[in-house]
Structure 1
Amino acid sequence: MPQQTQERTVAVIGAGPRGTSFLERLLAAVEHGVDGHRAPRLRILVIDPAPHGPGRVWNPQQSPLYLMNTPASFPTAAPAGATREQLPASSVSRSFAEWRHEHEAEETATSVRADSFEPPVVLGIDHGGTDTDYPTRAAYGQYLSWLHTEVSAALARQPGILVAHLRAEVTELRRAESGYELTLGKDQYPGSHDNHHDDDGAGPAPKDRLRADQVVLALGHIPAGLNESGEHFTEVAGQLGLRYQPPAIPTEVDYYSLPAGENVLVRGMGLNFFDLMIQASVGRGGVFHEHPDRPAGQRLEYLATGDEPHLVAGSRRGTPYRAKSTALTEAPGFAPVGIRLHHLTPAAVADAERRHDVLDFSAHLWPLIQRDVLRTYYRTLVELEPELFHAGFSAALDDLLADTHLGEAVLQTRGQRLLRELAPDVLWFDIRSLGRPFGGLTFESAQQYQQHMSTYLEDDAATSAAGVHSPVKMAIGALHLARMEVKALISQGRVSQSSQISEIEGWFESLVEGLASGPPLQRIEELAALTRAGIVEFLGPEPIFDVDREAGCYTAESPAVAAPAYQARWLLEAMMPANRVQLSRSPLVAGLLRSGLARPRELVDASGAPRAGKGFDVTTLPHRLIPVDRAEPEEIYVLGLQLSSVQWGTAIAAEAGGNLAASARSLADADAAARAVLAGPEESTSPGARASGRERITGSPARG
């Protein structure tokens, strides 16, 4: 790379985990040398109205009741463990677990450095935790605050690099005569500080317009418009004096305003539901009393205060997300020890790709995934209860699963026949039915459904506590491992767009999220106790949320439960805002689309019709915005949630020691963007760079 003699300005919009990872990767590239040449002179502007490092989601000041949904050994915003063999670590690179181990010996609280960009804040370290526990989200926010501060300071010590932080919102980004012009929102500057080590000591004075040569978008969760149903419920709330809580980040919901003793209708029983559940109970002064001598699922008793609202919750499947298995917490790769994908292998996938040109999920991937799930389930069951099986069962099952020409229906028929012959007391395991536990059933009363749900929750807790001794949870572990492989294939552009839309988004995503992306076991134990105490009730499968204007209330009921509709003055959406750029209410994102500087990525469904995807249209790695009006990509790099059209699913963090093509993908994205930024606009858009395929443009503009 030719030596850069002129200072360039790089604007990093978003200073949460993704923005922090970008800065850490930038530091690593500078420390390890950029193609053997001196680093360029850079002025780095880090802009975010939320706390820099943790952002809004991981704010260290949030309630300690909120837990992460991964054990402490998993998350990182910088390379750790085996990942460092693929990405060189910076001088401050730490995973969350490494950081916590380094700080847990401290007897007093740690404070953010006085010379940092943030005012000094005293933060209590999350002492006493192990790598297998599920830490608080506030504790992870402390780690992100520390990492961001250390990375920023280390960058600022590098010759020719200045780092400035602004607590402000970027409301507009547009092309300028040279580079880009950023407009900042008014009255966003209190509390902003600069971290700089330049000669004259002058950082940028706050103003409403800034210029940058290159931009990194690390926006994270952004406000989104409501769907038709949400708009209707909002309108009704205004007309009838009701209360409607739209989808939102849990830390930004006023759970204290929920009325004590009254029905609160809740739509959604994913991860946000558990945050609501704990705030409406322990957050109101309630206490869980533990009975360690009781079986899993029955170990907690809830002692109510009378200040709790009565939560009436519903989701399409009728049940909450299943708990994570305790076998996950001690396993590398965040999957139970001993699970290996025997059918969904790189060789099998490559063979399908060679024969069929493009991978179709239902035709080429799901049959392999299903076989790995079945193999894991029955091998675990044979090991645990060998007396249920006659000699030769395992070999016969392997032969059956090896026949890849059998479709799903035929495989089930022959599998059931095999069980009748060699394991007559064993049922066929259908992973799809596991995602619809009450499918096809009806219930004679609301009370009967509550009894079924209590049994369901206790069983889920028991199987989770059993760990590797649960065939069901081991099978779900295999499903999770397969999901990681599918994520990598989608990121590599190897899965057909039509099957992504109709199959992966259509049904597989819901199945795997409900089974493998749930909360820690503790949350299911707590929910079971709240159900027994009558604090939480369940609607039933496929609930219908509506309005009764004559009664002046919201209503909810399930067609599978013979019971009167529940009525309430409150309706709460227990889910995050929609991650779809066209629904964004962020003035920045809306402006990018309106001006043509960005466009949604266009996908084509099974009928051949174009359809706007969830995320931006971007180049291949490093991901740069593709504008509407010209073929050349912008010098605007995208990280995180707004890549959802080229990456399926977004993890809360990279996995410490994970593979860059799968569970540590966010670090690979940040590293590619950092190296491209250091190369500079001229280098990154040169014919040689494009010929390498590094920035190949894919996709086409969505037709409106």
Structure 2
Amino acid sequence: MSAKPEERTVAVIGAGPRGTSFLERLLGAVEHGHRDAASVLLRIIVIDPGPHGPGRVWNPRQSPLYLMNTPASFPTAAPAGQTQARLPASSVSRSFAQWREGHAAEATASPVRTDSFEPPVFHGVDHGGADTDYPTRAAYGQYLSWLHTEVCAALQRHAGISVEQRRAEVTSLSRAGAGYELVLDDDVAHVRADQVVLALGHIPAGLNETGEHFTAVAQELGLRYQAPAIPTDVDYHALPAGENVLVRGMGLNFFDLMIQASVGRGGVFHEHPDRPAGQRLEYLATGDEPHLVAGSRRGTPYRGKSTALTTAPGFAPVGVTLHHLTAEAIAAAERRHDVLDFSAHLWPLIQRDVLRTYYRTLIRVAPELFGEGFPGTLDELLADTHLGEAVLRTRGHHLLREHAPDVLWFDIRSLGRPFGELTFDSAEQYQQHMETYLEDDAATSAAGVRSPVKMAIGALHLARMEVKALISQGRVSQASQISEIEGWFESLVEGLASGPPLQRIEELAALVRSGVVEFLGPEPIFDVDRETGCFTAESPAVAAPTYQARWLLEAMMPANRVQLSRSPLVAGLLRSGLARPRELADASGAPRAGKGFDVTPPPHRLIPADGAQPEEIYVLGLQLSSVQWGTAIAAEAGGDAESSARTLADADAAARAVLAGPAA
């Protein structure tokens, strides 16, 4: 008589992209024979209060004004292309581009709107189905909904597997015998699970001291303060027409605010295709727009992405390769120094690849600027890895004076502080300066592979992907992660390589010309004036009167730190000791709590506060930020499982571990 099959319950908390990727990887493992169907009955319970598949961020019902930050060819929640060599495909594995091609009618249909305004009119802006376009976030949400539905249906077609969907929030997770008990907010019976997968994505976070102060002052003085939030959670329609709205931050959330405050109010962009890049759009205002006064430390928004075609893996422009930051060079540094230090061992190689890319591109587009022998002499200079950054710069200046006297030395760091020590005599002067800056940024983006600056930024981005992989593999010292990568490199590369599509830069330039958007200047100071009862903002680099407003809006996402989380689930895990933050050591050796949970190597299991046996709780995504740098919103279709498709590799490792059963 055969033994009775074991019954096992797996709770997947979070049904957004990462939870969906876990289910797809579970399906792939089942289809490739990594499950003993005769001995295990698998009950999968998927729990999320938001839409299952897209979650809140990618909800298909959101405004169609929100665009993705990558072209359609990039994102995927399932292995595609070359990634399948490492992560075998399931029967429903599709990238977003593959799904869109096969479901063109569904993908191009207008999503259901929840906005009160009429659909915007774009003149001359193509939102077609090319893989190089930047699709709406709602369209990506449709893909995720489809993938989630198909994966769950395919899993249930396998004998002994059931999938249940619960639209609820998990408020508590605790040990219960050999397993766990989950408390949900839907007033239904509690869930007991043998294994748990945390795929939480963005969760509410507490405010820092400044945010708490602004919140309290706003309540006291009758002002309006919008804390950091997911754009779909912000009521942009509440912004007052014609009034100043102070905006802190000019990253990706700023562009969502910008478009909602303009086209979302009925405004229209009209295209003049005969004009140069940066001047091609004219904004026709309605008068219902707020007056956005925006500031950030660098004084400028994120730079726009290049229109250069990209190749996978790495999402880098065609022709960009890393000549210095190679596997061989990295291995050699490790042999000599044991643990990699970013500034000492990696940045010198990255800088040389950036310089090599910049000057080779400039030679290609303007060979008349250079004397004979420059490329070889430059390569000789860059090959001398014993030269520090300052000496390299000095010798580079000498080389250019000899071979290319009309060419400047390219300093990638200066792009992160574009105005250096400049000061401006008036707000008007600064706005004119910013108009020129945006027009130049648009022109370099439009130039594609003919832009030395954007190609150099492409090399920087490609190097970032290599650094991400090294951090995930534990090969970079914790001290340099804290002081150097988080300290300055992260903000540099994000501001240069993670910006919006060219369309958004063109639109912003038009909004500046129309007076809807105004810039504060570098290193702005946001404060409160109790005498006038207003928020205030000013830049020490601009000689202008202080701006005043009843509104202050943080154009940024909630902090991704588990210790700041306002999620009852995450707070409860830390409080009960089922989880702890990962502890890192800074340059002095002092302990410092990291952003994410403390977890084992892949598959990433929670390490409890007492450091005992790891839990049967697997972590995916943002809460891995202490062992991964720059956890991605999506994997790259065809990307390397160690870098740009890392989220899929993590999901695959967790799926295989779940099928193998609880560890002894």
Aligned-partner Cα distance in 2 for 1:108–1:287 = 21
CA 520–109 in structure 1, closer or farther in 2 if over 3 Å, else same: closer
1:38 Cα deviation from its structure 2 partner: 5.1
Residue 489 of structure 2 is aligned with which of 468, 491, 508?
508
- Conserved? CA contact 1:3–1:40, under 8 Å: no
Counterpart-to-counterpart distance in 1, 2:80 and 2:312: 16
Alpha-carbon displacement from aligned partner over 1:591-616 (angstroms, at most 9, x marks no partner) = 00000000000000001100000000
Partner in structure 2 of residue 693 of structure 1: none
Partners of 1:27 and 1:145 lie apart in 2 by: 16
Paired letter, 1:383: R
Distance (whole Å) between structure 2 residues aligned to residue 611 and residue 71 of structure 1: 37
Match of 1:557 among 521, 538, 543: 538
2:519 aligned residue (512, 526, 538): 538
1:425 counterpart residue number: 406
Q: Which residue of 2 aligns with 1:201?
A: none
User: What whole-Å deviation, never above 9, does each CA across 1:503-535 have from its counterpart, x for those lacking one?
Assistant: 000000000000000000000000000000000
2:89 is matched by which residue type in structure 1?
A
Contact 2:9 2:192 in 1 (8 A): yes
| Correspondence 1:170-189 to 2 at 5 A | 170-186=170-186
Q: 1:428 to 1:655 in 2, by over 3 A?
A: same
In the aligned structure 2, how far is the partner of 1:128 from the partner of 1:620? Answer: 42
CA apart distance, 1:650 = 1.7
Which segment is superposed worse, 2-11 or 671-680?
2-11
TM, length-normalised to structure 1: 0.91
The answer as to 2:255 corresponding to 1:274 is: yes
The equivalent residue for 1:567 is 548
Residue equivalent to 1:655: 636
Equivalent residues of 1:132, 1:330 under 8 A apart? no
Q: Give yes or no for contact 2:312–2:639 (8 Å, CA) kept in 1.
A: no
SS in structure 2 of the partner of residue 382 of structure 1 = helix
Would you say the 8 A contact 1:104–1:127 is kept in 2?
A: no
Letter in 1 for 2:331: A
Find the counterpart in structure 2 of residue 301 from structure 1: 282
| Aligned: 1:30 with 2:11 | no
Corresponding residue SS for 2:445: helix
TM superposition shift of 1:41:
1.1
Seen in structure 2, the aligned counterparts of structure 1 residues 554 and 156 have a Cα distance that, compared at 3 Å, is: same
Secondary structure at the counterpart of residue 327 of structure 1: coil
1:472-551 matches, within 5 Å, as 472-551=453-532
The equivalent of 2:391 in structure 1 is 410
Structure 2 vs 1, CA of residues 15 and 362 (structure 1 numbering), >3 Å: closer, same or farther? same
1:105 and 1:171 map into 2 onto residues whose CA distance is 39
Change (3 A) 1:101 1:424: same
CA deviation after TM superposition for structure 1 residue 330, in Å: 6.4
Letter of the 1:242 counterpart: L
8 Å Cα contact 1:311-1:535 kept in structure 2: yes
1:144 maps to amino acid = L
Residue 54 of structure 1 contacts residue 144 of structure 1 at CA under 8 Å; is this kept in 2? yes
Match of 1:242 among 205, 211, 223: 223
Does the residue aligned with 1:175 lie in a helix, a strand or coil? strand
The one-letter code sitting in structure 2 at the alignment partner of 1:46 is: V
Say if 1:271 and 1:306 are closer, same or farther in 2 by CA, change over 3 A. same
Contact 2:100–2:107 at 8 Å: present in 1 too?
no
Task: Give the 5 Å matches for 1:91-490.
Answer: 91-104=91-104, 128-186=128-186, 206-207=188-189, 209-328=190-309, 333-490=314-471
Q: 1:629 deviation in Å?
A: 2.4
Show the counterpart of 1:622: 603
How many residue pairs align between the two structures? Answer: 650
The one-letter code sitting in structure 2 at the alignment partner of 1:621 is P
The secondary structure found in structure 2 opposite 1:44 is: strand
Superimposed CA distance per residue, residues 457-487 of structure 1 (whole angstroms, 9 cap, x where no aligned partner): 0000000000000000000000000000000
Structure-2 change in CA distance of 1:555 and 1:62 (3 Å): same
1:157 deviates by 1.0
| CA 346–37 in structure 1, closer or farther in 2 if over 3 Å, else same | farther
Higher relative contact order (CA 8 A, sep 6+): 2
Distance 1:265 1:111, change over 3 A: closer
Deviations 1:252-271 (A, max 9, x none): 10000000000000000000
Q: Is the 8 A contact 1:328 1:334 kept in 2?
A: no
1:68 aligned onto 2:68 = yes
Is 1:600 the equivalent of 2:600? no
Distance 2:251 2:591 in 1: 30
Within 2, Cα distance between the matches of 1:547 and 1:590? Answer: 32
Provide the C-alpha distance between the structure 1 equivalents of 2:626 and 2:446, rounded to a whole number of angstroms. 36
Q: Does the 8 Å CA contact 1:33/1:39 hold for their aligned counterparts?
A: no
- Contact 2:312/2:638 (<8 A) preserved: no
Aligned match of 1:53: 53
Q: CA deviation at 1:297?
A: 0.2
Q: Which residue of the partner structure matches residue 121 of structure 2? A: none
The AA in structure 1 aligned to 2:524 is P
User: Which is further off, 175-184 or 474-483?
Assistant: 175-184
Cα offset, 1:349, TM superposition: 0.1
Q: C-alpha distance in 1, partners of 2:107/2:529?
A: 57
Distance in 1 of aligned mates of 2:139 and 2:617: 32
Listed one character per residue, the Cα deviations across residues 250-297 of structure 1 (whole Å, up to 9, x for unaligned) are 001000000000000000000000000000000000000000000000
Q: Deviation at 1:630?
A: 4.4
| Matched residue, 1:697 | none
In structure 1, stretches of 5+ residues that fail to align are 113-125, 188-205, 687-704
Q: Separation in 2 of the partners of 1:174 and 1:223?
A: 21
| Rounded Cα–Cα distance in structure 2 between residues aligned with 1:596 and 1:185 | 22
Aligned residues of 1:133 and 1:329 also touching (Cα < 8 A): no
CA-based RMSD of the aligned residues comes to 1.7
Do the aligned partners of residues 110 and 235 (structure 1) sit closer, same or farther apart at CA in structure 2, a change above 3 Å counting? Answer: closer
Whether the 8 Å contact between 1:249 and 1:576 is mirrored in structure 2 is yes
Residue 13 of structure 1 corresponds to which residue in structure 2?
13
Instruction: Check 1:128–1:562 CA distance in 2 against 1; reply closer, same or farther (3 A cut).
Output: closer
Q: Is the 8 A contact 1:323 1:464 kept in 2?
A: yes
Deviations 1:411-440 (A, max 9, x none): 000000100011000000000001110110
C-alpha distance in structure 2 between counterparts of 1:407 and 1:153, whole Å? 58
Name the CA shift for 1:281/1:605 in 2 (closer, same or farther; >3 Å). Answer: same
Contact kept, 8 Å, 1:266 with 1:312, in 2: the verdict is yes
The alpha-carbon distance between structure 1 residues 352 and 457, as it changes in their structure 2 partners (threshold 3 A), is same
SS of residue paired to 1:63: coil
Supply the distance in 2 between the matched residues of 1:624 and 1:536 (Cα, whole angstroms): 46
